Structures are given as structure tokens and as C-alpha cells.
């Protein structure tokens, strides 16, 4: 047993220190980035924000909104080949702005191959809760051998050594980082395992960039300020789940409870998700996700514009003309309180 006394930071542990700036308008900030990748010759340009591959946020309807902003939707792994064929016939998808998700068993691999070929997908996301398993690295390398021209994402992990392992030996390009920070995730409560998300991003980004790879900061975003902190900490992409839930474009009926409107949002390791997709929860598992009633928010594009506006404003405060400049322009201040919440009580 070892104890690491190094302070570990979450988004609510810090604020970003402002500095003198030459930016006179938020409109001068460029939020698009262009990436090239370590294990494929493909390049990508867009706004590096991703909707999580959950039932409620990784959908065609969410894609239709986010793609207009050049943002990515990671489709949930329960869309089948017929779903994609029907969508491609009626309204083709732009390969720059969606990911195909997969687990790591053999049937997942066969399904992945069929869907990638039908959709001409540019992005593949190999998604498991525990990215530390040896089988994940083996599966990633197998996918790379079949799809040398796809950008491969894999995770989730929360430490440097596994980021490096996935990039170097799994031949992935981008590692999805975050163990337990999501609003619908109970992993930390059920297992005691995790790393605070800002420290995860700082450590994992440093490891990935040393291998010429990238990371996705996955989870823990509660407001536009958290998004700015994630990019300031070195995340190349940020994945958002709960904050992109509760809108017209998310599936599910609006529930009226005591005069207030809600929509359901739930973790993919929750008992609710297991029963929905597999008929039951296996008796060797614990439910590591919760079901959340998210206040109804209206149109998704309003939320997206709010987040992008906050991100541009953060850049203006720290003289980051481009989103890629944010880590070099960011100084974090460790704080005991972020804001005055008197009137929120």
C-alpha cells in the first residue's frame, strides 16, 4: 500500500487568473483547431467539443445540432447497422463530426467493421469503463490494423502510464480520460477508484503530448467555466454528457412533476441502462450509474451557444487568441470558493 500526498485538483478547486490581453472582442477568438495524429495520416479541423456516447446524448438528433457548430457527436453503441443505413439513405452524415462507438468483444468488432464501412466513418471510439485492461490495448491494435486511415479513440483511463500504453502499443490517436467524474456516474462511490478530473487532464495530457497523441477530458463539466478549465489544463478535446441532456433533441418524453419539467438522463453503467439494453443486470455487477431528472432546457443550440460564448470570454480574459493557446496562457489559482452563491440557496 502506498499513499500519494500530491494535491489533486477538480474543476471546483481552481479559478483561472486573468491577465493583460490584446483581445478587444470575444469574436476575435478562434475556437477551431486542426489536428494531425500519431498513428494515422488523417487530419481534422473543427471545434474540439464532443457529445458523450450515452443513450440520451449520442444520437442523430444531437448530431444534427452539433455538426452545424463543427462539433462531434459520439454515437451510442446501441445504434445498429440498420439504423445507420436508414440515416445514410435519408440524410448522410459528415464523417468529420461523428464517432462510431464499440466495445471490445468479437461481436462488437464485426458490428464496428460493418458500420464503419457503411458510414465511411473517420472516427472510431473504443469505449469501456475500465481502459486499464490488457484486452483493450489488444483490441485497439486489431482495429488499427483493419482501419489504418481512421482516427481511433480509446478509454477510459485517468493516469499517464495507460495513456502512453494505448498510444504506443494500442496504436490509438486520442485517449479518453476520466474515471468517475460524470454527473450520472457512481463509479467512485461504488469502487473508491478515481482521480479528480482536472488533475487527470493535466497528467494525461502531458503523457499523451510526449507521445504526439491527444486526450479527451471526459466528464465533470457542470458549466462553461469548467470547459475553459479543461482546455486550460491541456485537454485537446472535451466530452460533455449531462450538460447536453434535457433538451428538445434528446430522446424521451418531457415529465411534468409538481409544475416543473424534466427529462431523464442516466449513466450507461446504471441498472436502468442494463435492463433497457440487456434485459437485466448481471448478478456479478453493481450499478455504477444513476438516473437523473434533468430540468428541461429547450433547444440544444441555445446551450451550445452559451458554452461557446463562455469559452470565448475565458480566452479573452487570458489573451488566448486561439483555443490551442489556452494551456500556455492559463495560470490556475487554488481556491476555497469559486463564486458567491447567496441567491442560489
* 33-36/43-46 β-pairing: antiparallel
* 98-102/123-127 β-pairing: parallel
Residues 125, 150, 185, 329: which is the catalytic one? Answer: 185
Task: For cell 480574459, name the residue.
Answer: 317
Q: Could you tell me if 51 and 240 are in contact, meaning their C-beta atoms sit under 8 angstroms apart?
A: yes
CA end-to-end span of the chain, whole Å?
A: 42
Instruction: Report how far residue 304's alpha carbon sits from residue 306's, in angstroms, rounded to the nearest whole number.
Output: 5
Q: Could you tell me if 69 and 304 are in contact, meaning their C-beta atoms sit under 8 angstroms apart?
A: yes
CA atoms within 13 A on the CB side of 102: 28
Is 185 an annotated catalytic residue? yes
Instruction: Report how far residue 339's alpha carbon sits from residue 326's, in angstroms, rounded to the nearest whole number.
Output: 22
Task: For cell 493583460, name the residue.
Answer: 20
Is 187 an annotated catalytic residue? yes
Q: Find the helix or strand (DSSP H, E) in which 199 lies.
A: helix 197-210
Residues 187, 200, 303, 330: which is the catalytic one? Answer: 187
SS3 of 264-333: the string is EEECCCCHHHHHHHHCCCCCCCCCCECEEEEECCECHHHHHHHHHHHHHHHHHHHCCCEHHHHHHHCCEE
Q: Which residues are catalytic?
A: 185, 187
Amino acid at each position: 500500500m502506498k499513499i500519494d500526498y500530491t494535491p489533486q485538483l477538480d474543476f471546483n478547486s481552481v479559478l483561472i487568473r486573468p491577465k493583460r490581453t490584446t483581445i478587444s472582442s470575444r469574436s476575435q477568438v478562434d475556437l477551431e483547431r486542426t489536428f494531425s495524429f500519431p498513428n494515422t495520416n488523417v487530419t481534422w479541423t473543427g471545434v474540439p467539443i464532443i457529445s458523450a456516447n450515452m443513450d440520451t446524448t449520442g444520437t442523430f438528433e444531437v448530431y444534427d445540432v452539433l455538426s452545424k457548430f463543427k462539433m462531434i457527436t459520439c454515437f451510442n453503441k446501441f445504434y445498429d447497422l440498420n439504423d445507420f443505413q436508414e440515416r445514410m439513405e435519408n440524410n448522410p452524415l459528415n464523417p468529420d463530426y461523428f464517432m462510431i462507438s464499440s466495445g471490445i468483444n468479437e461481436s462488437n468488432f464485426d458490428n464496428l467493421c460493418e458500420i464503419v464501412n457503411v458510414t465511411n466513418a473517420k472516427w472510431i471510439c473504443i469505449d469501456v469503463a475500465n481502459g486499464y485492461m490488457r484486452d483493450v490495448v489488444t483490441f485497439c491494435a486489431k482495429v488499427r490494423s483493419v482501419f489504418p486511415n481512421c482516427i481511433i479513440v480509446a478509454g477510459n483511463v485517468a493516469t499517464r502510464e495507460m495513456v502512453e500504453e494505448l498510444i504506443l502499443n494500442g496504436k490509438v490517436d486520442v485517449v479518453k480520460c476520466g474515471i468517475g467524474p460524470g454527473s450520472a456516474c457512481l463509479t467512485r462511490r461504488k469502487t473508491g477508484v478515481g482521480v479528480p478530473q482536472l488533475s487527470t487532464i493535466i497528467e494525461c495530457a502531458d503523457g499523451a503530448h510526449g507521445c504526439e497523441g491527444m486526450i479527451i477530458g471526459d466528464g465533470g463539466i457542470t458549466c462553461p467555466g469548467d470547459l475553459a478549465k479543461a482546455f486550460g489544463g491541456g485537454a485537446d478535446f472535451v466530452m460533455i454528457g449531462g450538460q447536453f441532456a434535457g433538451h428538445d433533441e434528446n430522446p424521451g418524453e418531457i415529465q411534468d412533476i409538481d409544475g416543473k419539467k424534466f427529462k431523464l438522463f442516466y449513466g450507461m453503467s446504471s441498472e436502468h441502462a442494463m435492463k433497457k439494453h440487456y434485459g437485466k443486470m448481471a448478478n456479478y455487477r453493481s450499478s455504477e450509474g444513476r438516473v437523473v431528472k434533468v430540468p428541461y432546457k429547450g433547444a440544444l443550440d441555445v446551450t451550445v451557444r452559451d458554452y461557446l460564448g463562455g469559452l470565448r470570454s475565458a480566452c479573452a480574459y487570458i489573451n488566448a487568441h486561439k483555443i490551442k493557446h489556452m494551456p500556455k496562457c492559463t495560470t490556475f489559482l487554488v481556491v476555497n470558493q469559486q463564486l458567491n452563491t447567496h441567491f442560489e440557496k
